[in-house]
Amino acid sequence: MAVSQEFKSDLLGSIPSLRAFAVSLTQNADKADDLVQETLVKAWDKHESFQPGTNLKAWLFTILRNEFYSQMRKRGREVQDSDGIMTAKLAVHPAQHGQLDLKDFRGALEQLPEDQREAIILIGASGFSYEEAAEICGCAVGTIKSRVSRARTKLQEILRLTSDGEYGPDAISAQVMGKPAA
């Protein structure tokens, strides 16, 4: 069966999301685009296994994610450093007046293990439900929930947010900056 025009245009429309997810996984723009390319080729080849009316984005994310992990396995897991080295390297300064810098945030995100990073991205940014994320990652809903929770805790630690939503300089730096300490 030939690929329908609708499928093709839906694929085109999904590329921005696929690239965002790929960058989130690989933390590298070139690798991300190669990954998206592989994903599109695979999706094209197996378009018949996609059921029209179901969530194309979730289907594509699943393909992309599988491709990412199979590439990592082939390369013998050169990628991840879940604890330690990078954490030590990157010291984030306390955010000024609650304005957490996006660059610092990106650095913190990089330090998460992949499973936690993908979970928090799927749930917190890509707009998937826990059920959809679990399907994409091939795991239980509870696993996604716990990964998201651990990712969030770890981000808070790295970014030294004492508790999320309650950020800002401590009393001393507040005085230095001329703001009355609360």
Partner 1 sequence: MKDMTKTSAAAASAAKRQGASGDPLGPNSEIGRKLKQYYDDLVSEEVPDRFAQLLAQLEQASPAQKKD
DSSP string, 54-97: S-HHHHHHHHHHHHHHHHHHHTTS-S---SSHHHHH-PPPPPBT
User: Which of 66, 87, 156, 173 is in the footprint of partner 1 by CB under 8 A?
Assistant: 156
- CA-based torsion, 26, 30, 36, 38: positive or negative: negative
90 near partner 1, rule: CB under 8 A: no
Q: Does 121 bind partner 1 (CB under 8 A)?
A: yes
User: What is the nearest approach in angstroms of partner 1 to the Cβ of residue 7?
Assistant: 8
Q: For residues 108 and 158, what is the distance between their CA atoms, to the nearest angstrom?
A: 6
* Nearest C-alpha neighbor of 83 from the set 114, 115, 120, 111: 111
- Would you say 93 and 136 are in contact if contact means Cβ atoms under 8 Å apart? no
Contact string (CB under 8 A) for partner 1, positions 20-49, x = contact: x--xx--------x--xx--xx--x-----
Q: Does 141 bind partner 1 (CB under 8 A)?
A: no
Stretch that binds partner 1, among 6-14, 68-76, 79-87, 136-144 (CB under 8 A): 6-14
- Judged by CB under 8 A, the residue of 25, 60, 100, 144 near partner 1 is 100
Compute the distance between CA of residue 148 and CA of residue 64 in angstroms, rounded to an integer: 20
Helix, coil or strand: residue 160:
coil
Question: Is residue 144 close enough to count as binding partner 1 by CB under 8 A?
Answer: no
Q: Exactly one of 66, 71, 82, 129 binds partner 1 (CB under 8 A); which one?
A: 129
**25 and 33 Cβ atoms separated by less than 8 Å:** no
Contacts with partner 1 by CB under 8 A lie at 1-13, 15-17, 19-20, 23-24, 33, 36-37, 40-41, 44, 53, 55-57, 98, 100, 102, 105-106, 109, 120-121, 123-129, 132, 148-149, 152, 155-156, 159, 161, 164-165, 167
